[in-house]
Amino acid sequence: MRRKSARNRLKDETGQSLVEFALTVPMLLLLVFGIAEFGRAWMTQNILTGAAREAVRILAVPPGIITPQDRADNVLNSAGITTATVAVNDPGVAFGPVSVTINYNFPVVIVGFIPGLNSSTFPLSSTTTMRREY
């Protein structure tokens, strides 16, 4: 039996690295883009929470110049979120609870690459409740 030299063994394995690379790159890209998309969604959720908190604070303290709807819209517009819906719940009871709910359809950039994600938007929502101070 004849043994192969080191040079002949290397010739037999020339495409191995290319095949391994081709098999691992799609999984790596899916992971990287999935992490980036999750980060965008988390940031958007934090913006919605901040806007709801700002709006309900305006509603909870004695009446001022700006309305809760306008305050929430200002915060959302400064972040580039223009299609969110803001719902204000004010029963008008002294020292009672007031709340603001913000709903937003988060646009997913990499829809076709994430298994199980069939829609191009993902619903995000944030509700904040405070006690009226007057």
The pLDDT assigned to 114 comes to 64
The pLDDT assigned to 2 comes to 63
The neighbouring-strand residues paired with 56 are none
pLDDT, tens only, 78-100: 999 999 999 999 998 989 999 99
Domain-wise residue ranges, the chain: 6-131
Per-residue pLDDT band at 22 (split at 50, 70, 90):
very high
Q: What share of the chain is helix, strand, coil (3-state, %, to 5)?
A: 50, 20, 30
Give Cα separations from 113 to 20, 35, 39, 108, 122 (angstroms). Answer: 20, 12, 16, 11, 15
Predicted TM-score (pTM) of the model is 0.81
pLDDT, tens only, 56-78: 999 999 888 999 999 999 999 99
Residue 117 has pLDDT above 90, yes or no: no
Summary mean pLDDT of the chain: 88
The pLDDT assigned to 63 comes to 82
The pLDDT assigned to 42 comes to 97
CA dihedral (16, 17, 19, 23) positive or negative:
positive
The pLDDT assigned to 15 comes to 83
Strands (E), 1-134: 85-89, 97-107, 121-131
